[in-house]
Amino acid sequence: MEQCSIPPQRTIHTHPIKRDIDIRTSLRYGCTTFVVDNMSELKKFLPYRERVGLLLRLAFSNRYAVVDLSKKFGLDVAEAPAFITKAESLGIRIKGLSFHVGSQSTQPEAHVLAIKRCTALLESIRDGAGAPLSLLDIGGGFPIAYAGFGIDIKPFCAPIRSALKTLPDYVQVIAEPGRFIAAPAMTCLTSVIGKTQRQHRPWYYLDDGVYGSFSGQIFDHARYPIYALKQGARTESVLAGPTCDSIDIITSSIQLPQLEIGDLIIATMMGAYTSATATAFNFIPKTPIAVLNDIKKTIPSMRRIP
Ligand SMILES: Cc1ncc(COP(=O)(O)O)c(C=O)c1O
C-alpha cells in the first residue's frame, strides 16, 4: 500500500476473524477500520475502542456465485440491530455495513438485493436512537469472462448502480473488487514437456498444472481460457500437468493443433486465485512471475530463473 501511495488511514482490514496481534499490527500501521460479524470478534476491540471504527459484515447467500462466501462469514440481517445496540453499549463504534455476495457472481441480483436490505437497515437505524451508520462496503464478486462465461460488466453493473442511488445521501459507498481487477492482468505461458497418444487422443504434458498456476481450477472452480500459439488443423486433445498425480489434468477436452515438445500453451485471466494457491509438489518449482510493464527490471530477473 505504501508503494501505491495509499495513506494507511484509507485502508481497511476486511477479514472478519483476526488475532489480537493482527489488530495491533494494523493499528500500528495506521489502519483503523476493521470488519466484524460476531460478538466474540467485537469484544476483541474493547481495548482499542477509542481508535477504531468497525463495519458489520452481513451474510447474503447467492446461488449465482461460483464461490458463495455467506456459508462462512456474515451476520444474518435480522440480528444486526441487536448487534449494533450491543456494540454501542460497549462503547465500540460501528460506522457502517459490509457484505461480499460471493466470488464470480454471474448475475447482479445478489448485489442488488444486498444493497436494498442494507438500505432498509441503514434507514431504520437512522430513525432509531443510535448514531447513523455512514459507510457501505459492497465487497467484491464482480465477474470476469472465463471460458464458458460471456460477461459484459456494464449491463451487469447497471442495476447495481440504480440500487446504490436509493441509499441515503449521507452514506459513502466503497467496494473491494479483487478478481475483476487482478485476473485480466496476468497471462500464463506454459510449454509442452511431453506428449503421447492415450485413449485415441493426443495428450500433452505441460510444465505447469493444477498443483501450480492452475490450482484455481480446484480451489476457485475457475476455467481459464486456454489457447495454443501454433496454428493448424485441430483435434480433441488432453492437457496434463507435470506431477505424478492423475488429478493433475488441466483439461481432458480441448481442440488443439498437433503440438511438439517446447510448443507454448497460453492461458489468460490468470491474475486471480492462481499463483496464490500454487504449490511446489513433486519438487516442481512454481512458475515465476515476470512483470512486463517494467521490462528493464524483468529481463535480468528472468535470466536468473533456473
Ligand atoms: C473480504 C474480501 N474482499 C474482497 C474479496 C475479493 O473478491 P472478488 O475477487 O470476488 O472480487 C474477497 C475474496 O474472497 C474477500 O474475501
Q: Where are the alpha helices (DSSP H) in the chain?
A: 20-29, 39-43, 80-90, 109-126, 153-164, 179-182, 216-219, 295-303
Residues 77 and 176 in one domain: yes
Measured from the CB, is residue 140 less than 6 Å from ligand 1?
yes
Q: Output the pTM of the full model.
A: 0.90
Look at residue 59 in the predicted model and tell me its pLDDT: 97
Residues 31 and 178 in one domain: yes
Q: Where are the alpha helices (DSSP H) in 165-260?
A: 179-182, 216-219
Question: Cell digits for 14?
Answer: 476486511
Look at residue 295 in the predicted model and tell me its pLDDT: 56
What does the pLDDT look like over 51-71, one tens digit per residue? 999 999 999 999 989 998 888
Residues 78 and 178 in one domain: yes
Question: Cell digits for 288?
Answer: 515465476
Please choose, from the candidates 277, 193, 269, the residue with its C-alpha nearest in 3D space to the C-alpha of residue 227.
269
| Cα separation, 137 vs 132, whole angstroms | 15
- Axis-axis angle for helices 109-126, 80-90 (nearest 10): 50
What does the pLDDT look like over 171-193, one tens digit per residue? 999 999 999 999 999 999 999 99
- Closest atom, ligand 1, to C-alpha of 142: 11
Residues 53 and 198 in one domain: no
Residues 192 and 175 in one domain: no
Residues 172 and 195 in one domain: no
Look at residue 297 in the predicted model and tell me its pLDDT: 58
Measured from the CB, is residue 8 less than 6 Å from ligand 1?
no
Question: Cell digits for 81?
Answer: 440491530
Helix (H, G, I), strand (E, B) or coil at 99: strand
Report whether pLDDT(298) > 70.
Answer: no
Look at residue 131 in the predicted model and tell me its pLDDT: 79
- Closest atom, ligand 1, to C-alpha of 272: 9
Residues 169 and 215 in one domain: no
The residue among 166, 182, 198 that closes a domain is 182
Produce one character per residue of 30-47: b if its CB has 16 or more CB atoms within 10 Å, e if not: ebbbbbbbbeebbebbee
Domain CATH number, residue 133: 3.20.20.10
Measured from the CB, is residue 14 less than 6 Å from ligand 1?
yes
Separation of CA 64 and ligand 1 centre (Å): 15
Chain position carrying cell 500437468: 241
Residues 119 and 193 in one domain: no
Measured from the CB, is residue 177 less than 6 Å from ligand 1?
yes
Mean pLDDT value of segment 242-252: 98
> Does any domain span residue 3?
no
> Does any domain span residue 262?
yes
Percent of the chain with pLDDT over 90: 86
Question: Cell digits for 237?
Answer: 486433445
Look at residue 247 in the predicted model and tell me its pLDDT: 97
- Closest atom, ligand 1, to C-alpha of 103: 10
Look at residue 64 in the predicted model and tell me its pLDDT: 86
Measured from the CB, is residue 103 less than 6 Å from ligand 1?
yes
Residues 219 and 167 in one domain: no
Residues 123 and 136 in one domain: yes
Look at residue 2 in the predicted model and tell me its pLDDT: 54
Higher model confidence: residue 305 or residue 112? 112
> Does any domain span residue 92?
yes
Separation of CA 15 and ligand 1 centre (Å): 10
Residue range of the domain that includes 233:
186-303
Look at residue 142 in the predicted model and tell me its pLDDT: 97
Q: Where are the alpha helices (DSSP H) in 13-139?
A: 20-29, 39-43, 80-90, 109-126
Separation of CA 143 and ligand 1 centre (Å): 11
Separation of CA 166 and ligand 1 centre (Å): 24
Residues 198 and 67 in one domain: no
Mean pLDDT value of segment 199-204: 96
The residue among 129, 148, 182 that closes a domain is 182
Please choose, from the candidates 43, 97, 102, the residue with its C-alpha nearest in 3D space to the C-alpha of residue 68.
102
- Closest atom, ligand 1, to C-alpha of 105: 10
Look at residue 148 in the predicted model and tell me its pLDDT: 74
Look at residue 305 in the predicted model and tell me its pLDDT: 41
The residue among 127, 147, 182 that closes a domain is 182
Indicate the DSSP class of residue 273.
Answer: S
Residues 114 and 256 in one domain: no
What does the pLDDT look like over 7-31, one tens digit per residue? 999 999 999 999 999 999 999 999 9
Report whether pLDDT(304) > 50.
Answer: no
| Cα separation, 137 vs 118, whole angstroms | 10
